[in-house]
Amino acid sequence: MPRSIQKQAEAGALFSEALQDAPLDPLASQVSNIVGLLLAAYAITGSIVFPRGWVREVMLAFEREGLKVPSAHTLRWYRCKLDTQPYLFASAPNVDLQLLEDLEAR
CB 58 within 8 A of CB 34: yes
What's the average model confidence in pLDDT over 49-56? 96
Confidence category of residue 5, pLDDT binned at 50, 70, 90: confident
pLDDT digits (tens, 9 = 90+) for 25-43: 999 999 999 999 999 999 9
Name the DSSP class of 104.
H
List CB contacts of 89: < 8 A, sequence separation 6 or more. Answer: 31, 35, 81, 82, 95, 100
Helical ranges in the chain per DSSP H: 3-21, 30-45, 54-64, 72-84, 97-105
Does residue 1 have a pLDDT over 70? no
